[in-house]
Structure 1
Amino acid sequence: MTLLSLLVEISPLLEDASGLLQYALVFLFAAIPVVEILVVVPVAIGLGLDPIATGVVAFAGNVGSVYVLVAFHQRLSRWWGSRRAGGDANGDTGERYARARGLWDRYGLAGLSIGGPILTGVHIAALVALLAGSQSRAVAGWMTVGIGLWTILLVAASVFGFSLLGLA
């Protein structure tokens, strides 16, 4: 699924909703591994949602889903191991996992957490860190920092970009 097709599918849902439902959808979309903050923040701000509220809600949704992943990483590790052993690995997931593992090998937990949201997605990055043996608290803390930085950058870039183009 391409970024453009995600934008096309998310935009009408946010546009048709109103009030608090829009922010609930932002929260939900930010928690979905493929969509995350990279897609939902610019779309929501482009549709006229409050940038600060959008950033806070998107951050909460993305971080919340990572915390769920961290909380259940042992169960997920067993599932992942059985999935990989069966040879049923999706090529895209394998490529993203390899990219995240390369980040881990080169920069460690901090680098993976900062680069992960944009390069592999936070969920893959958190999973790599957990599978590499990092402590759950450290993964949760560093992923929070990485998601926070990217949320701030995305909100600022979206507001600036849309105002520069005269769209918002």
Structure 2
Amino acid sequence: MMLTPLLVDVAGTLAAASGPLRYALVFLFAAIPVVEILVVVPAGIGLGLDPVATGVVAFAGNVTSVYALVAFHRRLSRWLRTRRPATDQGPSDRYARARSLWDRYGLPGLAVGGPVLTGVHVAALVALLAGSSSRPVAGWMTVGIGVWTVLLVAGSAFGLSLLGLA
């Protein structure tokens, strides 16, 4: 999947909205597994949203969806098993990358690398399927999302100021 068209779609949707609706969309976009904070934070800050508010709202949206995944992963796993066709093609590339991170660095490495390399939702699912307890997965994923949110907010705001746009 190309990140550029996705960024344009997110930015276009945010630009078309106004007022508090923009921040509600930041929350919703951050909760979507493919979009997450990696796309919505730079897009929101690039459109002139307050960097701190954008970071806080995006963090909240991403963490909320991860907590929902952690809370319902058993039911979700059961549902996916019943829906998966018998001619399964094997794990996806994102899952394979996340599993490689898990094998090499464990839960902390997966939580810190996952948001950028595989997406935090895939990383959390891999950790849960590998047998980690829900509470440590939720805690470490929160740390990883927090680290990347701060880096993305700082990088986006600093980058705009370097370009003379902020």
Report the TM-score when normalising by structure 2. Answer: 0.95
**In 2, Cα distance between equivalents of 1:79 and 1:87:** 17
Which runs of 5 or more residues in structure 1 are unaligned?
none
Structure 1, 76-85 or 46-55: larger mean CA deviation: 76-85
Runs of 4+ in 1 over 3 A off after TM superposition: 80-85
> Any stretches of 5+ residues in structure 2 without a counterpart?
none
Paired residues, what number? Answer: 166
Distance 2:73 2:147 in 1: 24
**Please, what TM-score do these two structures have when normalized by structure 1?**
0.94
Give the 5 Å matches for 1:1-168: 1-84=1-84, 86-88=86-88, 94-168=92-166
Deviation track 1:30-52 (CA, whole Å, cap 9, x = no partner) reads: 00000000000000000000000
Distance in 1 between residues matched to 2:148 and 2:74, nearest whole Å: 27
- CA shift, 1:19, in A, is 1.0
Counterpart CA distance in 1 for 2:117 and 2:140 is 16
Deviations 1:108-152 (A, max 9, x none): 011000000000000000000000000000100000000000000
Superposition CA RMSD, Å: 1.5
